[in-house]
Each structure stands twice: as structure tokens, then as C-alpha cells.
Amino acid sequence: MTVTHTDGFPVQPYQADTILVTMGERVDAVVTIPGSSVPLIAVPEGKKGFAQLILRSGDTPVRGRAEDAATLMKSQVPLDTATLTATGEVQLTRREPDVTHDVRLAGPGGKYTWTINGKTYDPRDGLPVREGQRVRLRFINNSMMFHPMHLHGHTFAVRDGKGAFRARKDTVLVAPMKTVEVDFDADNPGQWLTHCHNIYHGETGMMAVVSYMQD
């Protein structure tokens, strides 16, 4: 299949057999099926079993066993769509950030809480920005779980390890004990949540407010 968009933004087309898709993330792909019907498999991270649907080509029989495809998928390294490159018309302009916020993700804590910067969600204690700023969020995952981090009201460019911009997105997966940096333009004044899209993490505290400040 050929991946063409992530979170609604076009990317340079990329051929992939398996894709890592997290909660809240969207992927557009063109799938070319052979002359026979084939299973499309979804395998959960860290769990047994799989889900499937059949892409049918007329009345042709299904080619291959879903169980074999699921086993093969688990042995492969899936595509992380954050590593794709946005097409030119949706790339952010290069600019140094005016403000950088470290967003430290941790848990589980007492009573199974998940935190940002050591605290559960408090709407009065957010991440201050000002209209017109270029803002960098540095998501630092200090836990052993994946966290799909979503930002409301904005989209961002994912930075690679060399400082180049990759995909344009609104949700990015932060792997265990890894750091992901994203840049966005503060061009939509308001109070906007950033949170883990693993809903029970967000519900138990892994949320913060990007808060526009006024002079």
C-alpha cells in the first residue's frame, strides 16, 4: 500500500506493508489488491489476537491465511507515520521557537494516575503561549507505555533527530522512554487541551492546557 496522508495532511508517498496507527491518528493509503481477495489485518500492540476484514475482488477466494499474516506482522517493524515528510504546501516555515515547553509524561502513580510534569490535570496550571509565537512542545516519555499525544486547535510539524521537519500532524505517538519534539504556530487564541489519546490515561490526569496569555 502507498501512504498518502497522515492526520489529513499530504505526505510524500511512501510504500509500506505494515503501519503503526495509534488512537486518534488517521492515515490515508492507496491499497492495490491482486487478482484474489486478501485479508486486511490489525494487530494490537502487546496483546494477543488480531482483527481482520476481507478485501474482496469479485468472487475470488481469499489468498493466504489471516493467522499467518498476523504472525508475519508481529515480526516486522511497522511504519511510524511521524517519520514521513510533509509535502511542500503544508510544511511549516523554518523558524526558531519563541518558547519551548517540556511535557514530561509519567505514570502510573498512586490510584493509577497519569501525569504531565508530575501533576494530574489542572486547568489553572497550563502551558503559557502568546499569539504569534512559534512554540515547541518536547514530549518526554518517562513511562513504559506508548502515549499518543494530541493537540487541540492546532496542527504541528514533527521534528526528527537532526532538527528537520517531517510530517504535519495533530497526534503523535511517543514511545516508551523516548522524546518527540513538535513545533506549531500560536495562531488560534484560546484555551486548548493537549492530552494522551489513550483515553484512560487522559481521564486520570495526562492532560494540560495550552493557554494563550494576554499582555
pTM of the model: 0.90
195 near 206, Cβ under 8 Å? yes
Confidence of residue 107 (pLDDT cuts 50, 70, 90): very high
Q: What is the mean pLDDT of residues 170-179?
A: 97
Give the lowest-confidence range in 51-55, 79-83, 143-147, 195-199.
51-55
Whether residue 180 is predicted with pLDDT greater than 70 in this model: the reply is: yes
Q: What is the mean pLDDT of residues 146-164?
A: 95
Q: What is the mean pLDDT of residues 67-83?
A: 80
Return the C-alpha cell found at 165.
521537519
The per-residue pLDDT for 198 is 95
Residues of the chain with pLDDT > 90, as a percent, come to 72
31 near 1, Cβ under 8 Å? yes
Whether residue 82 is predicted with pLDDT greater than 70 in this model: the reply is: yes
Residues 106 and 104: their CA atoms lie apart, in Å, by: 7
Q: What's at 35, amino acid-wise? A: G
The per-residue pLDDT for 61 is 74
Structural domain boundaries in the chain: 2-83, 92-212
Whether residue 89 is predicted with pLDDT greater than 80 in this model: the reply is: yes
Please state which CATH class domain 92-212 belongs to.
mainly beta
pLDDT single digits (tens) 204-213: 999 999 999 9
Confidence of residue 64 (pLDDT cuts 50, 70, 90): low
| CB within 8 Å of 24: residues ≥ 6 apart | 148, 150, 171, 197
Q: What is the mean pLDDT of residues 140-156?
A: 98
Task: Write the DSSP string, the chain.
Answer: -EEEEETTEEEEEEE-S-EE--TT--EEEE----SSBEEEEE--TTSS--EEEEE--TTPPBPS-HHHHHHHHHTS--EEGGGS-B-GGGPPPP---SEEEEEEEE---TTS--EETTB---TTS-EEE-TT-EEEEEEEE-SSS-EEEEETT--EEEE-TTS-EEEEESEEEE-TT-EEEEEEE--S-SEEEEEESSHHHHHTT-EEEEEE---
Per the DSSP assignment, residues forming a β-bridge with 32 are: none
Confidence of residue 110 (pLDDT cuts 50, 70, 90): confident
Q: What is the mean pLDDT of residues 146-173?
A: 96
Residues 172 and 158: their CA atoms lie apart, in Å, by: 8
